[in-house]
Amino acid sequence: MSALLDTAREAARVRHLSYHTERTYLRWIERFVRHSARASGRWRHPRDLDESHVQGFLNYLANDREVAASTQTQALSALLFLYDAVLGRPLGHMEGLVRVKKAARLPTVLTRDEVAALLSELRGVHALIAKLLYGAGLRLSGALRLRVKDLDVERRQLTVRRGKGDKDRPGILPDALVQPLVDQVEAVRALHAADLAAGYGDARLPNAYGRKHPGAARALGWQFVFPATRISTDPRTGLMHRHHLAPSATQRAVREAARRAGIDKRATCHTLRHSFATHLLEDGSDIRTVQELLGHARVATTQIYTHVAGLNGLGVKSPLDRLAEPPVEYHAARAAWGSDAWAGEPLPC
């Protein structure tokens, strides 16, 4: 097992997969091997297993484990990587594969008052990150990966690097966050100077950038805007770096802030991104603009927010609420008949 995982790990790094993707693929490969061992009663190497075994595992996830469509797709991607990139034997067609159907779900969206209440309960760096998620529509990973050089205060713009699909995209920098971000960069500058004095200060650079530009790792521009509280060892290189904050810290802070604010909805970091898109559409922003700000490859993905904005923003009144109001004809007839003649007289037809 360990030799197989080491080979898969090396193949992932050759292909420049992210560390998160690498760990996810290795976990699914291990689960697949263990499931096959339980099913057959003995350990077998994946090279001795064919499409029927892969199909059986994926169907087990769908039928017995009742996983979500995204989870099954993740497992399938990991096994396609295993057989193609690691074993050099791409999988063939699996006719009996049961694919979990992805249900259409409306995103949870907070009202503006709820957003304000949630943000008011946050403090420090987590408050600044949460305001970026709502103010610029960023994913949490995109906000945490921001480097100092990615902020353009004068143009009120930021750049999200290696977002979903490994793409860069521009984003807006809210006026309200300009001074807080300037202050945050100054704090990063002081922390970086202390790291350099202690013999550290090298940021982890993408791919081979450090070899092409010696010294870039020690430049302030490459430091994370939201650095971790302590220096840690890079699991891939073994070098000491100050990485960005762990996502779990901000996720926990947002959940606790929502609880203190009395918000009964499931309010997460991603809920702030949903709220950003919905509120922009309610304010009249063009859907193509919102698509670009969110980094969606297809406008169809962005259109889900039009349903939420339509329900919340059009002011449609239920017919049930109309029952409590006198009909329009009633008001018109009363006005025409006159208040004095109204008493004791039948309403004209």
Q: Is 236 a catalytic residue?
A: no
Find all residues with CB under 8 Å of 46, minimum gap 6, and list them: 4, 29, 32, 33, 36, 82, 83, 87
Q: Is 331 a catalytic residue?
A: no
Helix 2-14 vs helix 69-81: crossing angle, to nearest 10: 90
Of these residues, 23, 164, 243, 255, which one is catalytic?
Answer: 164
Of these residues, 25, 83, 134, 305, which one is catalytic?
Answer: 305
CA distance 324 to 326: 7
Of these residues, 9, 273, 274, 279, which one is catalytic?
Answer: 273
Q: Is 139 a catalytic residue?
A: yes
- Strands 169-172 and 232-233, by their bridges, are unpaired
Q: Is 145 a catalytic residue?
A: no
Residue pair 319/121 in contact by the 8 Å Cβ criterion:
no
Of these residues, 53, 147, 279, 296, which one is catalytic?
Answer: 296
Q: Is 270 a catalytic residue?
A: yes
CA distance 91 to 82: 9
Question: What would the two tokens of residue 313 be?
Answer: 């923003």
Question: Dihedrals φ, ψ of 152, to 5°?
Answer: -120, 90
Question: What would the two tokens of residue 306 be?
Answer: 């039009």
Of these residues, 270, 279, 317, 334, which one is catalytic?
Answer: 270
Of these residues, 9, 126, 139, 242, which one is catalytic?
Answer: 139
Q: Is 296 a catalytic residue?
A: yes
Task: Catalogue the active-site residues.
Answer: 139, 164, 270, 273, 296, 305
